Amino acid sequence: MANKIFIGVGHGGADPGARANGLVEKDVNLAVALAMRDVLVRHGVAVRMSRTTDKDDTVQQEVAECNAYQPDYAVEVHSNAGGGTGFEAYTYPGSARAVALARNIERQVMALGQTSRGVKQTSRFYWLRKTTAPAVLCEGFFLDGADHQKFRTPEQQQALGTAYARGVLQTLGIAWQQDAPAAEKRYATVDELPADLRPAIQALVDSGALRGVGGSRGLDLTYDMARMLVVSKRYTDIEAATMRPAAQPPDQ
Ligand SMILES: [Zn+2]
């Protein structure tokens, strides 16, 4: 059975959370959480988020939804404010599994160059008190601290979410997989090909030796396929040019 992760996205809708330096916490939290979800889903993990858009989403609703989902782990995404710098994570006192997850996330966040204020145990957060799964509450950085410079762009916030996901994957024992490489470019027509390959490929098309596969895929050649055809045609041309016209079948 697939691993299940619940991601609580702090604040939302009428509750913006903290605000500083042009950053609004509810938006930052959502960007980080969406990136985290995408990485986990890519690795075959089932994920439910408390919200995927900017809408009202109280912590009571989050906890109810999380407990109904019965995930293996629950992560609540927040951003800090109030003076300071650095990541910090909270767990409910006595939950060794939650601490292990928090430490793995912390390590991945620090690999981004972010400092950490540590993994702390507290019973003061409703989220940690009421969630039945091992739960971690992450404060990625301070919106009003110098470290907001590290996480102000969408790319930087995506990197933070990826770090959270890596910490979860490590905890679940799932190996990290790079993104699948982008599909190799395929050329549909002679005109799309690099100029040096065009004459030979055009000649092959004109002779009828090379035909397209039809439809919008046309010739459907990769660069390597086109080069091989060019070399092969050159070889055939050389052979034809050196073939003696006098070459006759041997005497019968
Ligand atoms: Zn918050």
Q: How far does the centroid of ligand 1 lie from the alpha carbon of residue 137, in Å?
A: 10
Question: Mind listing the pLDDT tens digit of every residue in the chain (252 residues)?
Answer: 689 999 999 999 999 999 999 999 999 999 999 999 999 999 999 999 999 999 999 999 999 999 999 999 999 999 999 999 999 999 999 999 999 999 999 999 999 999 999 999 999 999 999 999 999 999 999 999 999 999 999 999 999 999 999 999 999 999 999 875 556 788 899 988 888 899 999 999 999 999 888 777 899 998 889 998 999 888 888 888 887 665 566 665
Give me ligand 1 centre to Cα 51, in Å: 14
CATH topology of domain 4-172: Aminopeptidase (3.40.630)
* Full DSSP string of 72-131: SEEEEEEEE-SS--SEEEEE-TT-HHHHHHHHHHHHHHHTTT--EEEEEE-S--HHHHH-
The answer to whether 10 touches 26, Cβ cutoff 8 Å, is yes
Numbered ranges of CATH 3.40.630.40 in the chain: 4-172
pTM: 0.73
Q: Which structure tokens are listed for 86?
A: 């650095």
Cα–Cα distance, 78 to 9 (Å, whole number): 7
User: In angstroms, what is the span from residue 30 Cα to ligand 1's centroid?
Assistant: 11
Question: How far apart are the C-alpha atoms of 94 and 139, rounded to whole Å?
Answer: 20
Three-state SS annotation for 129-141: HHCCCCEEEEEEE
Q: Which positions are annotated as active-site residues? A: 139
Q: 105 CA distance to ligand 1 centroid (A)?
A: 18
- Please report the sign of the dihedral spanned by the C-alpha atoms of residue 237, residue 239, residue 242, residue 243: negative
CA 12 / ligand 1 centre spacing (Å)? 10
**Distance between CA 19 and CA 29 in Å, rounded?**
12
